[in-house]
Each structure stands twice: as structure tokens, then as C-alpha cells.
Amino acid sequence: MGIVSLGNEPQRQEAYETIRKVRLEVPMVLLESEAYNLYAAALQTQKLGGAVAELGVYRGGSARLLCEVRGDRPLHLFDTFEGLPEVSDLDVSFRKGGFAGSLEDVKKILEPFPDISYHRGFFPASANGFAPDIRFSLVHMDVDLYQSTLDGLKWFYPRILRGGVLISHDYVDAAGVRQAFQEFLADKPECLIELAGTQAAMVKL
């Protein structure tokens, strides 16, 4: 595909309009600036091919947004669909069972979109059985908790294409998420970019 850019006003407006349209259809936890960051990362990584993944789907808001901008990449969605698992002492503002979405409702919302795989259950066990050669150009993590974030980083990192992007919600406001990133990246060459809102992103080297 050609050069994609959000560097001009009509394309920015289109992104914001798409975010507004999606939010009217389905509740999304992401702030407008965070949804924009995700949109921009999804747009720019289209050229890498591979697959797109979301760990932490809830009611499908951010997954629905990804459907607008993933291009022809397959989308893999991971969630317990029973809410957050056990929390640790670091996860002070979260509770087990919070953010319980329904898989059936998410499937209904995303029904018009092709090539979506649902991986229901506790991650990383729900990722068992993937072909060893699966590669992702974009991973969106939004799991709130220390252990889920650490498990997500461990599983996805070796499966992200060079130049691919991992973007996570709640880096700024959730101590567990922050701790998991700091531990995991301590011996890695990648830099973490703290974005507007609460997100952070990493480009795989």
C-alpha cells in the first residue's frame, strides 16, 4: 500500500469522526486521545502485514475501532469475557471480576467484520495452540493488572514483527501495568514512549 499519514487535517478529521462513530455504537474505555493513538498505530502498521491482536476486549469498543483501521490483517481477540482475574497488591484500583464483557455481545457488534478469532479464557493459557510462526504487527494491551500485563509482554514480544507496535492502556495510571513494563523492558533494547492520556507504546527492534 502507499504512504499512509495522519499528517494532514482531512485525515485527522476522518480519524476523529471514526472514533466518534464507534463510540456511539459501543462503549469504549479509551479516551479520545488514546483512541486516536491506537488508530494512528494501527494505520501505520498496516504496511507490515502480519496480524493484529487485542488482549483485553471488555465490551468490544477498542476492538470495534481496530476493525476500522486494521486493513486486511486478521484480528485476534483475547479476554476471559468474565472480567479481571485475581489482582495483586500493586493493582490497587481494580477488583477481580471488574470489566466483565459478554463474548456473545462482542460477537454481535463485530459480526459485519471478517477474519476475527476469539480466544476466550484466562491469558496466557488461552494462547496455547497458536501456530509457532504467528507474527503480529500491532498488539493492543488493555488488561489493567500487573500479572496480565507481564504475561502479555512475555507472550507477544517474541511474536511481534520488526517495526511492529505494542501499545498498552493504563501505563500512566496503573502501578501494576507500569511495574510490569519496567521489569520486562529492563534487559531489552526497545524504548517505551509515554503517550498522551494513559498509554505507552513500544516499537519492536
Ligand X SMILES: C[S@@+](CC[C@H](N)C(=O)[O-])C[C@H]1O[C@@H](n2cnc3c(N)ncnc32)[C@H](O)[C@@H]1O
Binding site for ligand X (CB under 6 A): 28-30, 56-59, 61-62, 78-80, 83-85, 99, 101, 122-123, 142-145, 148
Nearer to ligand X, 57 or 195 (CB): 57
Minimum separation from the CB atom of position 147 to ligand X (A): 7
Neighbours of 197 (CB within 10 A): 20
Nearer to ligand X, 48 or 167 (CB): 167
Minimum separation from the CB atom of position 197 to ligand X (A): 12
Helix or strand run (H / E) with residue 53: strand 51-55
Find out whether 45 and 57 touch, Cβ atoms under 8 Å. no
Euclidean distance between the first and the last CA atom of the chain, given in angstroms as a whole number: 22
Minimum separation from the CB atom of position 113 to ligand X (A): 16
Distance CA 78, CA 120 (A): 6
Nearer to ligand X, 104 or 133 (CB): 104
Minimum separation from the CB atom of position 25 to ligand X (A): 12
Nearer to ligand X, 62 or 137 (CB): 62
Minimum separation from the CB atom of position 9 to ligand X (A): 26
Nearer to ligand X, 89 or 187 (CB): 89
Distance CA 10, CA 29 (A): 25
Distance CA 167, CA 200 (A): 6
Neighbours of 145 (CB within 10 A): 25
Distance CA 187, CA 190 (A): 9
Minimum separation from the CB atom of position 174 to ligand X (A): 10
| Cα three-residue angle 119-121-123, rounded to 5 degrees | 85
Nearer to ligand X, 61 or 197 (CB): 61
Find out whether 77 and 40 touch, Cβ atoms under 8 Å. no
